[in-house]
Amino acid sequence: MGRKATLATCSLNQWALDFEGNLERILKSVEIAKAHGAKYRLGPELEICGYGCADHFYESDTLLHSFQVLRKLLESPVTQDIICDVGMPIMHHNVRYNCRVLFLNRKILLIRPKMLMANYGVYRELRWFSPWKQLRQVEEYFLPRIIQEVTGQVKNKKIITIIIIIIILLLTIICVVKHRQVFFFFPPPDPELTVSVFPPLVLCVHQDTVPFGDCVLSTKDTCIGTEICAELWNPRSPHIQMGLDGVEIFTNSSASHHELRKADLRVDLVRSATIKSGGIYLYANQRGCDGDRVYYDGCAMVAINGDVVAQGAQFSLNDVEVITATLDLEDVRSYRGEICQPNMEIEPKPCHRVKVDFSLSSGDDICLPTHQPIPAHFHSPEEEISLGPACWLWDYLRRSGQAGFLLPLSGGVDSSSTACIVHSMCVLLCQAVEDGNSQVLEDVRRVVVDDSYRPQHPRELCGRIFTTCYMASENSSEDTCSRAKGLASQIGSTHMNINIDMAVKGILGIFSVCTGKWPQFRVNGGKPQREPGSAECTGPCQDGPGLPACPAGSVGPGEARWIAGAGLSQRRRKVLLALRPPPPPPTYISVIFHVAVSKGELIEFKTQVVTL
């Protein structure tokens, strides 16, 4: 009896509304999963259209093109003999849902809408989608015509009628000749006779709907339940009830963006989802910027009974990354039997099971090795701050069609940190090209407009796509000028020095004519409108308009200095050490304590002075 299943999850760099490109990446992930022997493939949230479509979700064309991609997936020979789990928007009863569509061999098995929406932080899902609130309930969803033509789940009624009449006539003749009985439209009393005589009639029964709602997929050897992104983070996560009802494999399709130390939380949540009641958990996530100002950081993983057995990269330039794991279903059953048996009771409302005649395991898997637990890998905060914005910058650059970045480099901490992140991007690009990533090499050649170019060193690549500019004025110092020039030399950027006194005086003159006042520094009697540094690194880059957006926009000034002082100094950027401010002198503070001393019924207060 087979019990070992090979499962695949992935991280895809999907682009919003890039239906053709998204289709190619989905097919490539399925092809890689099948090459590793997987029988189930899980993809990220809304992978067909892209998660960041925003108000384009309101357009009917977005739904139409998503179904057109789904049709091509159904028709492709690559998706045969493997259960594919893809994400797309679907409208049911004129309500728009964020859905997972599971299909096998040109047949759609079920559609599972998202039940708990993400509507906090940078997420606004309730603006475009409605949650499915009918717990453990399933409705019928009528497939669009373009899907019906492929799946065969509905046909021309006249043709069906003719075929049924012909088959009935043939079966009648067979029954008369072999059994000397005529059953007409009714099956014979013998069940075995029904199977042997009437299988063509059974296969001819058409189905024009599929299950839509809170349901799970029951194969011949296990049961698979679906979660979508925020449902894992909710205190009422669906995997809790599904696990108590005997579901053994949980899947989660996410579009989770990068935040400092968020990867640690994801791993903890995935582990906790299976450590209490056992089970296998597959996590898939979006990768890249998807046309938005956040970065989705991948980190797909597979866990069983609280242990991580496979984990993908958090920061990578690969558009398609597939993680596979071979696991023993008996390990889940043994774990539940030993630890969770008293709590594994029949639920008052069991999950609606959609049955499929398919197995994830095979009968000859005794010698098939299984994946063993591995320690989860996490980046340090310095590495996250360096690598996350660097990956976002590359996605932005190659999608925008621009030739590079321009940064006004003032010699201060903020602009210097941004410059170091661009250099980190060049380091990642050179490493990806060295590792044989043909897509990165193609994109680099398109950016530099040279079909024969191949980057050899990060400094050399930085000089072709990154320009820095020191804009000097009468208030500038030689110290900041030399620091900017030294840093540009270290990272290899094309550097310029420009004097902007004439431009500054022209702007001040216009201001004086319009207002009758002349701007002054605070030391000369001017009044500041805000505290210095209060708006650093909180939005678009404050150093200048060269970069399209500050890649360190999600971190504060303290973290920006962390990049310059600690995170990147190990890469031979000696000039950065000069950017670190000297430690402040020790401050002595006199604190007066009034100590209450009880003497019988009287309370006396004594004063003590302590120097800190």
* Separation of alpha carbons 102 and 477, rounded Å: 64
Residue 191 has a CB neighbour count (10 Å cut-off) of 9
HSE toward the beta carbon, residue 334, CA cutoff 13 A: 6
Active site residue 272: no
Strand partners, 287: 297
Distance separating alpha carbons of residues 60 and 14, to the nearest angstrom: 20
What sign has the CA pseudo-torsion 124, 129, 133, 135? negative
Distance CA 267, CA 307 (A): 10
Among 11, 29, 39, 45, which one carries the catalytic annotation? Answer: 45
Q: Which of 229, 289, 299, 462 is the catalytic position?
A: 229
- 416 as an active site residue: the answer is no
Q: What is the 3-state secondary structure (H, E, C) of 133-161?
A: CCCCCEEEEECCHHHHHHHCCCCCHHHHH
Cβ proximity of 95 and 130 under 8 Å: yes
Instruction: Please check whether residue 309 is in contact with residue 371, taking contact to mean a CB–CB distance below 8 angstroms.
Output: yes
Of the candidates 53, 114, 227, 569, the residue annotated as catalytic is: 114
Which residues have CB under 8 Å from 401's CB, separation 6+?
none
**Residue 595: φ, ψ to 5°:** -95, 130
Phi, psi of 94 (to 5 degrees): 65, 20
Angle at which helices 458-465 and 478-491 cross, to 10°? 120
Q: How far is CA 464 from the centre of its chain?
A: 31
Tally: H helices and E strands in the chain: 16, 21
* Residue 45 bears catalytic tag: yes
| Interatomic CA distance for residues 171 and 177, integer angstroms | 10
Q: Which amino acid is at 465?
A: I
299 an active-site residue? no
- β-strands 249-254, 223-228: how paired? parallel
Task: Give me the active site residues, please.
Answer: 45, 114, 229, 410
